[in-house]
Structure 1
Amino acid sequence: MSASPELYSEVADRLLGIEIEMRRIEVWSGEPPSENALASNQPFCIDTLEFTEWLQFVFLERMRFIVEQGHGLPSVSGIAPMAEEHFRSRPEPGDALLRELEAIDELLSDS
Protein backbone atom coordinates (compact mmCIF):
# COMPACT_ATOMS: atom_id res chain seq x y z
CA MET A 1 0.00 0.00 0.00
CA SER A 2 1.44 3.35 -0.98
CA ALA A 3 1.37 6.49 1.13
CA SER A 4 -1.34 9.06 0.61
CA PRO A 5 -0.66 12.38 -1.12
CA GLU A 6 -1.43 14.05 2.21
CA LEU A 7 1.34 12.09 3.92
CA TYR A 8 3.84 13.08 1.23
CA SER A 9 2.77 16.69 1.70
CA GLU A 10 3.19 16.46 5.48
CA VAL A 11 6.64 14.88 5.09
CA ALA A 12 7.65 17.62 2.61
CA ASP A 13 6.50 20.27 5.09
CA ARG A 14 8.57 18.66 7.86
CA LEU A 15 11.63 18.45 5.61
CA LEU A 16 11.30 22.17 4.96
CA GLY A 17 10.88 22.78 8.68
CA ILE A 18 14.09 20.86 9.36
CA GLU A 19 15.98 22.98 6.84
CA ILE A 20 14.56 26.22 8.21
CA GLU A 21 15.52 25.27 11.75
CA MET A 22 19.02 24.18 10.71
CA ARG A 23 19.51 27.55 9.03
CA ARG A 24 18.14 29.39 12.06
CA ILE A 25 20.61 27.76 14.44
CA GLU A 26 23.39 28.18 11.87
CA VAL A 27 24.26 24.53 11.29
CA TRP A 28 23.35 24.63 7.58
CA SER A 29 26.41 24.31 5.35
CA GLY A 30 26.98 25.91 1.98
CA GLU A 31 29.70 23.39 1.14
CA PRO A 32 28.94 19.70 0.70
CA PRO A 33 31.25 17.12 2.28
CA SER A 34 33.63 15.12 0.10
CA GLU A 35 32.39 12.12 -1.86
CA ASN A 36 34.51 9.90 0.40
CA ALA A 37 32.80 11.27 3.50
CA LEU A 38 29.39 10.68 1.96
CA ALA A 39 30.32 7.12 0.97
CA SER A 40 30.58 5.92 4.57
CA ASN A 41 28.90 2.61 5.39
CA GLN A 42 28.38 3.52 9.04
CA PRO A 43 24.93 4.56 10.33
CA PHE A 44 24.53 8.33 10.08
CA CYS A 45 28.03 8.40 8.46
CA ILE A 46 29.17 8.77 12.05
CA ASP A 47 32.77 8.05 11.13
CA THR A 48 33.01 10.78 8.47
CA LEU A 49 30.35 13.46 9.06
CA GLU A 50 28.95 15.59 11.84
CA PHE A 51 25.32 14.67 12.56
CA THR A 52 24.09 17.94 11.04
CA GLU A 53 26.09 17.28 7.85
CA TRP A 54 24.50 13.84 7.58
CA LEU A 55 21.08 15.37 8.21
CA GLN A 56 21.54 17.98 5.48
CA PHE A 57 23.45 16.07 2.82
CA VAL A 58 22.18 12.53 3.26
CA PHE A 59 18.80 12.44 5.02
CA LEU A 60 17.23 15.60 3.57
CA GLU A 61 18.56 14.89 0.07
CA ARG A 62 17.29 11.30 0.05
CA MET A 63 13.94 12.16 1.58
CA ARG A 64 13.34 15.02 -0.86
CA PHE A 65 14.09 12.66 -3.74
CA ILE A 66 11.69 10.05 -2.34
CA VAL A 67 8.91 12.63 -1.89
CA GLU A 68 9.46 14.26 -5.30
CA GLN A 69 9.50 10.91 -7.10
CA GLY A 70 6.63 9.44 -5.09
CA HIS A 71 8.72 6.47 -4.02
CA GLY A 72 7.82 4.46 -0.93
CA LEU A 73 8.48 6.24 2.32
CA PRO A 74 10.57 4.52 5.00
CA SER A 75 8.35 2.76 7.52
CA VAL A 76 10.66 3.40 10.46
CA SER A 77 12.62 6.46 11.44
CA GLY A 78 14.67 7.06 14.55
CA ILE A 79 16.53 10.28 13.88
CA ALA A 80 15.38 12.26 16.91
CA PRO A 81 17.33 10.18 19.47
CA MET A 82 20.52 10.70 17.45
CA ALA A 83 19.85 14.45 17.30
CA GLU A 84 19.21 14.54 21.03
CA GLU A 85 22.56 12.88 21.67
CA HIS A 86 24.33 15.22 19.25
CA PHE A 87 22.92 18.43 20.72
CA ARG A 88 23.49 17.31 24.31
CA SER A 89 27.15 18.32 23.99
CA ARG A 90 26.78 21.24 21.57
CA PRO A 91 26.39 24.97 22.11
CA GLU A 92 23.61 25.26 19.49
CA PRO A 93 20.08 25.18 20.87
CA GLY A 94 18.68 22.13 19.12
CA ASP A 95 15.27 21.93 20.84
CA ALA A 96 13.18 23.18 17.90
CA LEU A 97 15.13 21.03 15.44
CA LEU A 98 14.63 18.05 17.73
CA ARG A 99 10.86 18.68 17.69
CA GLU A 100 10.88 18.72 13.87
CA LEU A 101 12.79 15.45 13.81
CA GLU A 102 10.46 13.87 16.36
CA ALA A 103 7.53 14.88 14.15
CA ILE A 104 9.05 13.30 11.04
CA ASP A 105 9.95 10.16 13.01
CA GLU A 106 6.31 9.91 14.08
CA LEU A 107 4.97 10.56 10.57
CA LEU A 108 7.17 7.88 9.03
CA SER A 109 6.60 5.36 11.78
CA ASP A 110 2.84 5.74 11.46
CA SER A 111 2.81 5.35 7.67
Structure 2
Amino acid sequence: MADSKHLERVADSLLRIEIELREIDAWSAEPPAPEALQSTQPFCIDTLDFTQWLQFVFLHRMKILVESGQPLPAVSGMAPMAEEHFRGREQAGRGLVRALEEMDRLLSR
Protein backbone atom coordinates (compact mmCIF):
# COMPACT_ATOMS: atom_id res chain seq x y z
CA MET A 1 0.00 0.00 0.00
CA ALA A 2 1.43 3.37 -0.99
CA ASP A 3 1.73 6.10 1.61
CA SER A 4 -0.43 9.21 1.23
CA LYS A 5 2.51 11.45 0.18
CA HIS A 6 3.43 9.03 -2.58
CA LEU A 7 -0.21 8.81 -3.73
CA GLU A 8 -0.34 12.60 -3.78
CA ARG A 9 2.77 12.74 -5.99
CA VAL A 10 1.29 10.11 -8.32
CA ALA A 11 -2.01 12.07 -8.52
CA ASP A 12 -0.06 15.27 -9.34
CA SER A 13 1.89 13.38 -12.00
CA LEU A 14 -1.35 12.08 -13.55
CA LEU A 15 -2.60 15.66 -13.77
CA ARG A 16 0.68 16.77 -15.42
CA ILE A 17 0.29 14.02 -18.02
CA GLU A 18 -3.26 15.17 -18.77
CA ILE A 19 -2.11 18.80 -19.06
CA GLU A 20 0.69 17.79 -21.45
CA LEU A 21 -1.73 15.79 -23.61
CA ARG A 22 -3.98 18.86 -23.79
CA GLU A 23 -1.01 21.16 -24.56
CA ILE A 24 -0.06 19.14 -27.62
CA ASP A 25 -3.71 18.86 -28.69
CA ALA A 26 -3.73 15.09 -28.16
CA TRP A 27 -6.64 15.07 -25.67
CA SER A 28 -9.86 13.68 -27.08
CA ALA A 29 -13.37 14.55 -25.94
CA GLU A 30 -14.66 11.38 -27.62
CA PRO A 31 -13.63 7.98 -26.30
CA PRO A 32 -12.58 5.31 -28.80
CA ALA A 33 -14.96 2.49 -29.70
CA PRO A 34 -15.31 -0.02 -26.84
CA GLU A 35 -13.78 -2.74 -29.03
CA ALA A 36 -10.57 -0.69 -29.33
CA LEU A 37 -10.19 -0.82 -25.55
CA GLN A 38 -10.48 -4.63 -25.54
CA SER A 39 -7.11 -5.14 -27.25
CA THR A 40 -4.84 -7.75 -25.70
CA GLN A 41 -1.70 -6.12 -27.14
CA PRO A 42 0.58 -4.03 -24.90
CA PHE A 43 -0.48 -0.37 -24.99
CA CYS A 44 -3.40 -1.43 -27.26
CA ILE A 45 -0.88 -0.84 -30.03
CA ASP A 46 -3.11 -2.57 -32.58
CA THR A 47 -6.21 -0.46 -31.87
CA LEU A 48 -5.18 2.86 -30.31
CA ASP A 49 -2.69 5.64 -30.87
CA PHE A 50 -0.23 5.89 -27.94
CA THR A 51 -1.77 9.16 -26.73
CA GLN A 52 -5.26 7.58 -26.84
CA TRP A 53 -3.95 4.68 -24.75
CA LEU A 54 -2.51 7.15 -22.24
CA GLN A 55 -5.80 9.02 -21.92
CA PHE A 56 -8.35 6.23 -22.06
CA VAL A 57 -6.48 3.30 -20.52
CA PHE A 58 -3.55 4.44 -18.38
CA LEU A 59 -4.92 7.66 -16.89
CA HIS A 60 -8.37 6.15 -16.40
CA ARG A 61 -7.05 3.06 -14.59
CA MET A 62 -4.49 4.96 -12.53
CA LYS A 63 -7.08 7.47 -11.31
CA ILE A 64 -9.25 4.57 -10.12
CA LEU A 65 -6.30 2.97 -8.30
CA VAL A 66 -5.29 6.25 -6.63
CA GLU A 67 -8.83 7.18 -5.60
CA SER A 68 -9.57 3.74 -4.17
CA GLY A 69 -6.18 3.32 -2.48
CA GLN A 70 -5.44 0.11 -4.38
CA PRO A 71 -1.84 -1.00 -5.03
CA LEU A 72 -0.14 0.84 -7.87
CA PRO A 73 1.88 -0.88 -10.60
CA ALA A 74 5.45 -1.48 -9.47
CA VAL A 75 7.03 -1.00 -12.89
CA SER A 76 6.47 1.59 -15.57
CA GLY A 77 8.24 2.18 -18.86
CA MET A 78 6.07 4.71 -20.64
CA ALA A 79 8.65 7.42 -21.36
CA PRO A 80 10.52 5.24 -23.90
CA MET A 81 7.19 4.42 -25.58
CA ALA A 82 6.40 8.15 -25.79
CA GLU A 83 9.86 8.91 -27.23
CA GLU A 84 9.28 6.27 -29.88
CA HIS A 85 5.78 7.59 -30.61
CA PHE A 86 6.99 11.16 -31.16
CA ARG A 87 10.19 10.28 -33.05
CA GLY A 88 10.04 11.82 -36.51
CA ARG A 89 6.71 13.56 -35.88
CA GLU A 90 6.02 17.23 -36.23
CA GLN A 91 4.15 17.17 -32.90
CA ALA A 92 6.66 17.82 -30.12
CA GLY A 93 6.06 15.67 -27.08
CA ARG A 94 9.04 16.65 -24.93
CA GLY A 95 6.88 17.90 -22.04
CA LEU A 96 4.81 14.73 -22.15
CA VAL A 97 7.95 12.56 -22.21
CA ARG A 98 9.24 14.43 -19.12
CA ALA A 99 5.91 13.96 -17.34
CA LEU A 100 6.02 10.23 -18.17
CA GLU A 101 9.62 9.96 -16.97
CA GLU A 102 8.44 11.36 -13.63
CA MET A 103 5.60 8.81 -13.49
CA ASP A 104 8.03 6.01 -14.39
CA ARG A 105 10.25 7.09 -11.46
CA LEU A 106 7.30 7.29 -9.05
CA LEU A 107 5.99 3.84 -9.94
CA SER A 108 9.40 2.17 -10.05
CA ARG A 109 10.64 3.60 -6.74
Q: Normalising by the residue count of structure 1, what TM-score does the alignment of the two structures yield?
A: 0.97
The residue matched to 1:74 in structure 2 has which SS?
coil
Is 1:90 aligned to residue 83 of structure 2? no
Across the aligned residues of Structure 1 and Structure 2, the Cα RMSD in angstroms comes to 0.5
Output the CA distance in 2 between the equivalents of 1:73 and 1:27: 25
Could you say which residue in structure 1 is the equivalent of 2:57? 58
AA in 2 matched with 1:53:
Q
Could you say which residue in structure 2 is the equivalent of 1:13? 12
Residue by residue, what CA displacement relative to the aligned partner does 1:52-105 show, whole Å, maximum 9, x if unpaired? 000000000000000000000110001111000000032111001000000000
Q: Normalising by the residue count of structure 2, what TM-score does the alignment of the two structures yield?
A: 0.98
Q: Which runs of 5+ in 1 are unaligned?
A: none
1:1-111 equivalences in 2 (<5 Å): 2-110=1-109
The residue matched to 2:54 in structure 1 has which SS?
helix
The residue matched to 2:56 in structure 1 has which SS?
helix
AA in 1 matched with 2:89:
R
Output the CA distance in 1 between the equivalents of 2:101 and 2:11: 15
AA in 1 matched with 2:32:
P
Residue by residue, what CA displacement relative to the aligned partner does 1:25-73 show, whole Å, maximum 9, x if unpaired? 1000011000100000000000000000000000000000000000001
Q: Which runs of 5+ in 2 are unaligned?
A: none
**Percent of aligned positions that are identical:** 61
Output the CA distance in 2 between the equivalents of 1:93 and 1:41: 28
Output the CA distance in 1 between the equivalents of 2:69 and 2:19: 23
